[in-house]
Structure 1
């Protein structure tokens, strides 16, 4: 078999081999390029999530307690050795992503006094800190750096940040005294201190300044009568001398993980390394780190997204495999006479297969290599997918020879004149397939899966169910068509009768299966995307059951009126949230011994008004809306766990709970699993109606305000919340307490945007879009194959009917009647499979990581039903167009003259 002959045959059947080559290229392109693109999107999502966090969140901080230094080494030298040793002891996966590190040694803040401080009546505590490389990362603006030459009689020289010194009325040369104070405020063993110089950092955002207490700003006092805390930089020699004299010191070593050094593919290993560090922390050190929280959240999203992508990829690749089989089958069917003649001339049974193999080897590997190379151009880190691409190349190369072996060698037959009955072997295979699909679905639900891994059972169940549904559709849809054909036979005209009769006898098993696979994949993506979107809306409405929520620690009662007067505000209501409250058995406070609960005070009528104005549906029980002040226990809505505990101890009719220092009696008026404003994991809570609280000496104050309105100004709401907290701090019944944190404002639109944009949502959105678009396009291509599979037979029938007087209009009607059942059945079956698959797979996909913990529910929206019918109409129009173009290319008159096998 010469190469020239193979090349001539490939050129002669160029269209068929071009189709096979394009399909091969697409498969290897997906195998090579999609993992790169997914890794790229994952990296971008991880970078965005980590960059949205404070940089200090990525610090691994080791610290010692404040204690006298007892080593024979110098304090700074010992700290440096420990600094390097801790880095070497880190797990390799953690050490490899550390990009910056700093260490410092400091004394316990002591009271400082001096004329310049007294001039402004400032109460200040000063900490002395050694910061290596401080001179390289800052600029001296006045004075000099502390001298490294230790002179016993010289005061301790300290350098301060210029802004800090200005606020404290200090300058180079300012004389201070530092020491501890007794209970009466008198200084004990004061030591002279002198301000030697003032500096400014080269980069205030540098991580070296993130140590606590900060060196670049003043730490405000926590309460009345408390000192300001500042940090000054001293020389190592001076510090070592003071440490040797027994001054309590503490060391701090910080290692910052680089955003660009963390590989999204190795998050699990990095998290395991952080856990190992937590477990192996030396007893004399304290490890503080919070980077594992965003890493775990992102890893949960990424694993869920990868699992969903595996399901979508299985559907797309199975569809492509089916298309390759259809392409090989059509190619061999067109050349059936050639293979029969080859056998008739004495060729072996495998002669045709060898010829096809030679042709495939000339086309498929080249197309596969081109597809792989194009995939490498996609941005992102590669995955080890070369073995899969090689396997795909081998299988596609063998597809055409295997299809050639299956070509029947007998004579031609009029298949349109006989009713094909399935053989016992085929029935056995189909029944076995149905049983296997059902068994796999049951096993998947019972066994579950590990998110983020390609589970063979997970990727096979959707394909098996789609194939099983296609088999059932093949067996079911001819029966109503035959009934319609019988009814049409009694009417005038032949178009409906002939169309339904031919549609009922058509044998298009493989093409129909491929269409169902493709459309099922697209419908699955659409249904799951709609479910995730609807679940995010529920999560947002649960977190912010209004247009905005103002959160604080305690807000003055008049804050409600202040917020209601802001522009755009249409309704406001108050909420008080008291976590970790103990239930009592009586008014004296006897512990009920049922565990802590979260108490929520809500104004029933106010919450109803705000939710109505905001367009949010809040499941507010009627008892909370209608409750009024009356004698006896308050009606309360509790969680099932609290209801069970109170019933067990006999307190379901009367129990007591403390809210902001006042104890209230309540009874169980209802039970429900969740309630707005509570977190998803809140399993123990008590909801009380605010408007029904009995009058007390001390009335509760809100901790949050729910706001409804249009074009709300978040900054104005935040300022109103801060002012409300300040008024409560100044005019409340409890004064002189610690300073409040600033109020926060969350809008429903902002929370919804954060849920949809952050984390690994880019990977999830890519999966939905790629699956929906790819499934739709491949479905249309499969429908084209379905039409072409029977085009030759339909062409011969149409040629005879046109000779007998069938008009062009009747010809188009006949095509439409014949193709509508086939296309409609395939599209509707695929859509039904895609709609039912989420019901089966949703519990094991872990998509709640994208909805704030709210379980994802499958959403059957009217828009999806309309999209299915629109797709069916497009598919039918596409099928008729393909058939018309094919008939025009075949020239129906020549088809009739050339005979059955032309």
Structure 2
């Protein structure tokens, strides 16, 4: 009967406990499910964003031709039944390690390397480069295509032996029917009845063997999204391709690449191509059902199938070595590496949220046990046993907390339905177990012995136990920090380690223990100082704040607040580090907030118009010559001709190789440079990169660029410069260059072809004005923006999802810290109200009562907030070597992305905590004063 009466007598407390169980269980269960869901979404984003052919499991088998008794080329491996048999073997081997079907989705024969088609009637993108053809003999052509003109090709291959036709000596030819798609026919100008010929290589002086395709029809795909057409997109429509021209300095050759389809039984015609023939098989993995957690297993399976034990078994069963394309493995491997690099950061966030949630639950349990202490003491005095009290407490918590915890887990499953259950169920069960068992265990601890003080031996034993616990925590914290730092040095260690992920939480626990040791002594010193001052409020409040307290009762609020503060502050530094890394990488890629470039010389008035545009702070016109020849060395730096004044301002503002403004003046020596002074040899002072300076032998350095021959002397050495953020560089002043070479004055060679634009705080107004201005000025102008470059770094679902999860974890930690503050204040509220009632009865004014509340409770939270800020400041250099933000920031490899110490993320959580504490204390003091006044009036 005790349980129902208790539930009826304190419905608000029961309801609050149920809500707490529901919220904490839901939060701790949602977080791992959200991590899984985010990983799955990122994987789908990677697979859908990649080319279709890169997401397939593909295998090929080169065909070795032979010669029959009539001298014709034959290959048994090209027979349809042989291709299907090897495909079945490949499917069974793939199914042993990968989630594929029982048979190949697409199979056939093709020429592995496109062959050039020299027909002059076919269109060309570069006159000297003919189009290239991929000839395919697929399985089930009729099932996947529909003729729109003509008919499907036949299986006949008509061979013409070598001979003479008039004056033309030919080495023989073969004719085969083929079809092309409607898009190919339109782009390449083909129609039924046309012929396309290509030849195989021959020895010099001998006629070659030709293959002639006769187009019997034009087809359309029945399903353009089917694997039949997407596995090799060139069969559906022509693609533009490019290749090096072979002539140094010439632009690459561009050409068309198209495909044609022949009957499956005519596959032997492919042996007449220059690259021969190969059988192929394509499997489509069920990407919609793949989960990010399966990626490492898939990558290992692909590796085994490509060059491991499964590859050996496949070759033995197929009777020939099947080559497995590793494009999918490379794609999944890159995703797995990025996800593994992000996982430790998310694990740290999860550890912080879980710890804070558990501390909040423990705080509630301690508060509940303390509030019922008098009631349970009375029950114990009336003959109640300790086991009975614990059973009653456990029954109460289970009756109201277990349904709430189950509902919380159900809400987590409803919020994030498609995710693994093991991790979320474990987190929810841990939280629920702590919530249900903490109050009974607290009750057992408080009432383990009858009323009365503990003996001196008990207090000594507790002191020794506390020292052992503190030493254990310190050892664990040191080990976690050292392990995290060493893991950061070891590039191969990318897996998530729970021990290192708990490093910020262990730091918070160590700080809480240290603060628990130092805080009472510091407050007692303050109370002694306050005793010498007039007034009793300060002394009384500080004396009460510094009185000895139970380590458990006082330590839980400190641990909860410091864990939440550390999580929020450390998370803020992580996000600030990501933002800083993206800003630096974008600036290094563009060189300024915006870069306006032209293939030729810019219009003289463009720089002035850009300078007057809204939101533009400064403009620096430059002329660039890429790959200039350094006659005294092997480097080919970028030669940059600049306006020295504006360029010095830009370098100083961007931080990319700032240098003294007069360093590039003729005869001037820059700060920290290597100038030779005025040598009188016509050499121009220059700002050079370290690679260029390393090539210096002695005396001036000579560079040759198209139309220019420049003699320079290194005046300043820097690692980077805005005009040439990538590679080596040599920067000279246009004024100094024209003074050294008067014939360049007014020449187009020294006129700017690029404008580096510095906007006001990178604002959108300046960017939009630049965009509109360049569109109006010249269509050939290119506008490269640092803001767009920065946005591209965080554009993938992997990085944006991880960043959103981290922000959500920081927000949850902040909310839980607020709950911890309210619970810790509620824990001491009854005692504080009783003291205020006694002091009000003795005549203390209400205003002094409010001040007393603040003076008593606020110092602990001020010290906690200061400790949280200090801990975050210390944790950044401690944990920086073990945390790499490159994967989360999405910046290029080699770009530094360390943790950065930002003021606002460090101070904002602490200030919000103090503000919430002050408001809660004021409300608490006002409520207590009103109740006291009401009691005094009633008496």
Task: Name 2:578's counterpart in structure 1.
Answer: 532
Q: Measure the CA separation in 2 of the matches of 1:652 and 1:277.
A: 58
Structure 1 residues 661 and 45: alpha-carbon distance in aligned structure 2, compared to 1, 3 A threshold: farther
Contact 1:33 1:377 in 2 (8 A): no
Structure 1 residues 229 and 535: alpha-carbon distance in aligned structure 2, compared to 1, 3 A threshold: closer
Task: Tell me how far 1:403 sits from its aligned partner.
Answer: 1.0
- Pick aligned residue for 1:266 from 265, 290, 294: 294
Alignment of 1:718-729 (within 5 A): none
- Pick aligned residue for 2:2 from 1, 5, 19: 5
Q: Measure the CA separation in 2 of the matches of 1:319 and 1:815.
A: 26
Task: Tell me how far 1:321 sits from its aligned partner.
Answer: 2.2
Task: Name 2:346's counterpart in structure 1.
Answer: 309
Task: Name 1:731's counterpart in structure 2.
Answer: none
Structure 1 residues 747 and 672: alpha-carbon distance in aligned structure 2, compared to 1, 3 A threshold: same
Q: Measure the CA separation in 1 of the matches of 2:849 and 2:355.
A: 35
Q: Measure the CA separation in 1 of the matches of 2:255 and 2:937.
A: 104
Contact 1:156 1:238 in 2 (8 A): yes
Structure 1 residues 519 and 673: alpha-carbon distance in aligned structure 2, compared to 1, 3 A threshold: same
Q: Cα deviation per residue 1:761-797 (whole Å; 9 max; x = unaligned)?
A: 2442333323322222222222222222222322222
Task: Tell me how far 1:534 sits from its aligned partner.
Answer: 1.5
SS in 2 for 1:196: strand
Task: Name 1:109's counterpart in structure 2.
Answer: 115
1:141 equivalent in alignment to 2:169: no
- Pick aligned residue for 1:766 from 774, 781, 804: 804
1:432 equivalent in alignment to 2:435: no
SS in 2 for 1:505: coil
Contact 1:353 1:405 in 2 (8 A): yes
Task: Tell me how far 1:310 sits from its aligned partner.
Answer: 2.0
Task: Name 1:732's counterpart in structure 2.
Answer: none
SS in 1 for 2:516: helix
1:72 equivalent in alignment to 2:109: no
Q: Measure the CA separation in 1 of the matches of 2:402 and 2:277.
A: 70
Q: Could you say what the CA RMSD is over the residues aligned between the two structures, in angstroms?
A: 5.0
User: Which deviates further from its counterpart, 101-110 or 466-475?
Assistant: 101-110
**How many residue pairs end up in the alignment?**
845
Task: Name 2:360's counterpart in structure 1.
Answer: 323
Alignment of 1:182-331 (within 5 A): 188-190=208-210, 193-202=213-222, 207-209=227-229, 211=232, 214=235, 216-217=237-238, 230-240=258-268, 243=271, 248-257=276-285, 259-280=287-308, 288-292=325-329, 294-331=331-368
Q: Measure the CA separation in 2 of the matches of 1:561 and 1:373.
A: 68
Q: Measure the CA separation in 1 of the matches of 2:361 and 2:849.
A: 31
SS in 2 for 1:197: strand
Task: Name 2:412's counterpart in structure 1.
Answer: 375
Structure 1 residues 676 and 613: alpha-carbon distance in aligned structure 2, compared to 1, 3 A threshold: closer
Structure 1 residues 880 and 349: alpha-carbon distance in aligned structure 2, compared to 1, 3 A threshold: same
1:558 equivalent in alignment to 2:596: no
Q: Measure the CA separation in 2 of the matches of 1:774 and 1:66.
A: 61
Task: Name 1:90's counterpart in structure 2.
Answer: 94
Contact 1:114 1:176 in 2 (8 A): no
Contact 2:481 2:878 in 1 (8 A): no
SS in 2 for 1:810: helix
SS in 2 for 1:136: helix
1:816 equivalent in alignment to 2:873: no
SS in 1 for 2:219: strand
Task: Name 1:741's counterpart in structure 2.
Answer: none
- Pick aligned residue for 1:457 from 483, 499, 510: 499
Task: Tell me how far 1:634 sits from its aligned partner.
Answer: 8.4
Structure 1: tracts of 5 or more residues without a match:
414-419, 725-743
Q: Measure the CA separation in 1 of the matches of 2:419 and 2:260.
A: 46
Structure 2: tracts of 5 or more residues without a match:
67-73, 161-173, 246-251, 454-458, 668-680, 758-765
Task: Name 1:448's counterpart in structure 2.
Answer: 487
Task: Tell me how far 1:561 sits from its aligned partner.
Answer: 7.4
Structure 1 residues 701 and 328: alpha-carbon distance in aligned structure 2, compared to 1, 3 A threshold: same
User: Which deviates further from its counterpart, 93-102 or 801-810?
Assistant: 93-102
Alignment of 1:804-843 (within 5 A): 804-843=842-881
Task: Name 1:355's counterpart in structure 2.
Answer: 392
Task: Name 2:378's counterpart in structure 1.
Answer: 341
1:162 equivalent in alignment to 2:182: yes
Structure 1 residues 275 and 566: alpha-carbon distance in aligned structure 2, compared to 1, 3 A threshold: farther
Q: Measure the CA separation in 2 of the matches of 1:349 and 1:261.
A: 54
Task: Name 1:416's counterpart in structure 2.
Answer: none
Q: Measure the CA separation in 2 of the matches of 1:550 and 1:291.
A: 38
Task: Tell me how far 1:293 sits from its aligned partner.
Answer: 5.0
Task: Tell me how far 1:262 sits from its aligned partner.
Answer: 3.3
- Pick aligned residue for 1:172 from 189, 192, 195: 192
SS in 2 for 1:821: helix
SS in 2 for 1:448: helix
Task: Name 1:887's counterpart in structure 2.
Answer: 928
Structure 1 residues 323 and 279: alpha-carbon distance in aligned structure 2, compared to 1, 3 A threshold: same
Q: Measure the CA separation in 1 of the matches of 2:122 and 2:728.
A: 55
Task: Name 2:511's counterpart in structure 1.
Answer: 469
Structure 1 residues 151 and 702: alpha-carbon distance in aligned structure 2, compared to 1, 3 A threshold: farther
TM-score for both structures, normalised by structure 2: 0.76
Structure 1 residues 444 and 262: alpha-carbon distance in aligned structure 2, compared to 1, 3 A threshold: same
Contact 2:63 2:75 in 1 (8 A): no
Contact 1:717 1:745 in 2 (8 A): yes
Task: Tell me how far 1:850 sits from its aligned partner.
Answer: 2.1
Task: Tell me how far 1:821 sits from its aligned partner.
Answer: 1.0
Contact 1:155 1:191 in 2 (8 A): yes
- Pick aligned residue for 1:403 from 417, 425, 442: 442
Task: Tell me how far 1:64 sits from its aligned partner.
Answer: 5.9
Q: Measure the CA separation in 2 of the matches of 1:896 and 1:92.
A: 84
Q: Measure the CA separation in 2 of the matches of 1:266 and 1:676.
A: 44
Structure 1 residues 706 and 88: alpha-carbon distance in aligned structure 2, compared to 1, 3 A threshold: farther
TM-score for both structures, normalised by structure 1: 0.78
SS in 2 for 1:382: coil
Q: Measure the CA separation in 2 of the matches of 1:54 and 1:269.
A: 22
1:782 equivalent in alignment to 2:820: yes
Structure 1 residues 212 and 803: alpha-carbon distance in aligned structure 2, compared to 1, 3 A threshold: closer
Q: Could you say which structure has the greater relative contact order, defined with CA pairs below 8 angstroms and 6 or more residues apart?
A: 1
Q: Measure the CA separation in 1 of the matches of 2:221 and 2:777.
A: 35
User: Which deviates further from its counterpart, 351-360 or 74-83?
Assistant: 74-83
- Pick aligned residue for 2:544 from 489, 493, 502: 502
SS in 1 for 2:142: coil
SS in 2 for 1:805: coil
Task: Tell me how far 1:275 sits from its aligned partner.
Answer: 3.5
Q: Measure the CA separation in 1 of the matches of 2:239 and 2:81.
A: 29
Structure 1 residues 813 and 761: alpha-carbon distance in aligned structure 2, compared to 1, 3 A threshold: same
Task: Tell me how far 1:814 sits from its aligned partner.
Answer: 1.9
Q: Cα deviation per residue 1:314-345 (whole Å; 9 max; x = unaligned)?
A: 22222222222222222222222333334434
Task: Name 2:558's counterpart in structure 1.
Answer: 512
User: Which deviates further from its counterpart, 230-239 or 770-779?
Assistant: 230-239
Q: Cα deviation per residue 1:43-69 (whole Å; 9 max; x = unaligned)?
A: 223323333333333245545669646
Contact 1:111 1:187 in 2 (8 A): no
Structure 1 residues 89 and 745: alpha-carbon distance in aligned structure 2, compared to 1, 3 A threshold: farther
Task: Tell me how far 1:543 sits from its aligned partner.
Answer: 1.7
User: Which deviates further from its counterpart, 654-663 or 668-677?
Assistant: 654-663
Task: Tell me how far 1:622 sits from its aligned partner.
Answer: 5.5
Task: Name 1:688's counterpart in structure 2.
Answer: 730
Task: Tell me how far 1:359 sits from its aligned partner.
Answer: 2.7
Q: Cα deviation per residue 1:251-291 (whole Å; 9 max; x = unaligned)?
A: 44444555424321222222333433453577976655544
Q: Cα deviation per residue 1:627-678 (whole Å; 9 max; x = unaligned)?
A: 87965798674558x98xx69xx95889999989999998887766667699
Q: Measure the CA separation in 2 of the matches of 1:68 and 1:690.
A: 63
